[in-house]
Structure 1
Amino acid sequence: MNNGSHADAQIVIPRGVNRVFPFVSQWMKLMDKRGSVFPNSIESCEKSIDKLRTSIALVDEEIAVVPSSVALLTGFVPQYDGALVVKPAFGSGGLGIHSFPSADDPRIRGIANLSRNPDIPLYQHFLLQPMATGAGTDHRVVILNGRSIAATTRRARTGSFITNGPNANVEAGAPTGAITLAEQAAHALGLRFAGVDVIRNDDGFAVLDVNCWPGISMTEEVTSVDIASALIESLVQDFRVAHS
């Protein structure tokens, strides 16, 4: 909007707006009415913004996930065995993620109490998960139109389990099982474009996270796949069909 006028965008690719999605969804609805084309529908994005909702949606479709709980918001910590991970439901980039050796760690209770304090405004809830058996290594799979177009394996730096943080090691390629699961997850959520994080857990792979507007620069750099061009070309074709 500029001096009362507006310019309609034909193709719109949102980026990194998980925490303000209620605003973005209203904006997407407005642009949709004006004929703009998006990589994903509003409905499919809503399923993948909140990590808990994503997990529930995938479980409903019988897709393997890392178990999740938000019971700590009531002050009760689920008694998962072994080490635990606590993460913000709308987080990204590895920010705000913490690990604890067991459910008995008093620091987890501290997070629960923080979440219940009416004097501290929290704009998101926290998830608690058992530490995956493959923690420290995971696979980012970029999906476009139902299939993987690029995949990487990410390894956390020494002393960390966070694979998408600074100084993590990223290399091209991922196991076939991880890629297949990622494609199934994107399909289950109705996402045509997605970044799906898959981790080894117990005897197989499990979905760790799904992003409906993933960052692609690192994946492009490591794999030499021009993801941006492929996405734009696909959206241009959609726009032409919609307005033919």
Structure 2
Amino acid sequence: MISKMPKGAVIVNAFWRGGDAGAEKLSAVLSLLGITAPVLKSTDLSLYVSEGVQGEIPFDFAVYLDKDDHFARLLEARGVRLFNSAESIRLADDKMLTHIALAPYVRQPKTISSPLFFAGEEDPAFLDRVEQELSYPIVVKKCFGAFGKQVYLAKDRNSLVSLRSQLIKEPHIYQQFIPCDSSDIRVITIGGKAVAAMKRKAASPDEFRANAELGGTGEAIALTPALRTVAESASRALGLEYAGVDLLWDEKGYLVTEVNSNAHYKLIEEVTGVPVASLYANYILSELTKGENA
């Protein structure tokens, strides 16, 4: 028998206003397993640094659906077991850190990091080098963003210069465009194992981003050995216990473009029939009760 069922929480961003039922559903599924884990905003808790990290925490673990790795580290410093860890969230949330961490393990589109801007004048030679390495169109992404809303396409030098002037004070990257008929692939991994896959299609032929939040649609696809291997390698390399791995493809195979630490699962559940929330909740329970005799 399990001696004592742990108490938990599902943590969402302080500015979260709803619109996705994923947090509430995960809380409900955990409840069916006998685990109390209400949805809380990070501002529902008071944590601070003084003599060590201080603050009362009314739970033992948290499913962390935020991307605020500072607050995640405060929770870990107070002994809270996080799904995912603060470090894995940091690596996944910063797109350039993601690419660097994945470099030894999976194929990725050629990616160039913008130099960090402090002050001074722009060096046009940098864009010359970007053009030499990457042919148009060129994908330009903020390092921190979600739902495809901070991803742009430069079709020529004028648009590249315009995007750079907009983004120069923010961390961002320049990336090889991989033509995949306005589609990509999303694979969900839990505990480092691929459990579901779908092909996403952009809302129109003129839109290169296939995110569901931008009107993209999904269809179930098979988890082939090749697809499984790449997605699992990516999630494990980042230390993510739950991940959404986004991939494109070319004649050589799959390329990882992004890895999401708090990927929404509503669409992939609908199109594949895979109960992602239930699988994740059962994984969490198994991790929390390791060593207990059922």
Q: Same fold (TM over 0.5)?
A: yes
Q: 1:135 to 1:179 in 2, by over 3 A?
A: farther
Deviation at 1:44, TM superposition (A): 2.0
Q: 2:196 aligns with which of 129, 150, 153?
A: 150
Question: Which residue among 52, 60, 71 is the counterpart of 1:27?
Answer: 71
Q: What is the RMSD computed on CA atoms of the aligned residues?
A: 2.5
Matches within 5 A, 1:76-115: 76-77=126-127, 78-79=130-131, 80-102=134-156, 105-115=157-167
> Using the alignment, how far apart are the partners of 2:70 and 2:135 within structure 1?
41
Please report the TM-score for the alignment, with normalisation by the length of structure 2. 0.70
1:147: Cα distance to partner? Answer: 1.2
Q: Deviations over 1:186-239 (max 9, x none)?
A: 112222211100111343210010011211111112222221121122212222
TM-score w.r.t. structure 1 length? 0.83
Counting only pairs closer than 5 Å after superposition, residues 69-218 of structure 1 correspond to structure 2 as: 69-71=112-114, 75=124, 76-77=126-127, 78-79=130-131, 80-102=134-156, 105-116=157-168, 122=169, 124-134=170-180, 136-158=182-204, 159-164=206-211, 165-174=213-222, 176=224, 177-218=226-267
Alpha-carbon distance in 2 for matches of 1:147, 1:216: 16
Shift of residue 174, structure 1, vs aligned partner:
4.4
Determine which structure has more spread, i.e. the larger CA radius of gyration: 2
1:219 is aligned, of 243, 268, 271, to 268
Same amino acid, percent of matched pairs: 26
Counterparts of 2:268 and 2:62 in 1: how far apart (Å)? 21
Inter-CA distance 27–166: structure 2 relative to 1 (3 Å threshold): closer
CA distance in 2: counterparts of 1:241 and 1:151, whole angstroms: 28
Q: Which runs of 5+ in 2 are unaligned?
A: 1-44, 47-54, 117-121
**SS class of match (1:241):** coil
Comparing both chains, which one has the higher relative contact order based on Cα–Cα distances under 8 Å and sequence gaps of 6 or more?
1
Query: In structure 2, how many angstroms separate the alpha carbons of the residues matched to 1:98 and 1:29?
Result: 31
| CA distance in 2: counterparts of 1:222 and 1:94, whole angstroms | 20
Q: Could you list the runs of 5+ residues in structure 1 that have no partner in the other structure? A: 117-121
2:117 paired with 1:65 = no
Letter in 1 for 2:242: F
Deviations 1:35-64 (A, max 9, x none): 4322222222222111011101111x2310
Higher strand share: 2
Distance 1:52 1:202 in 2: 24
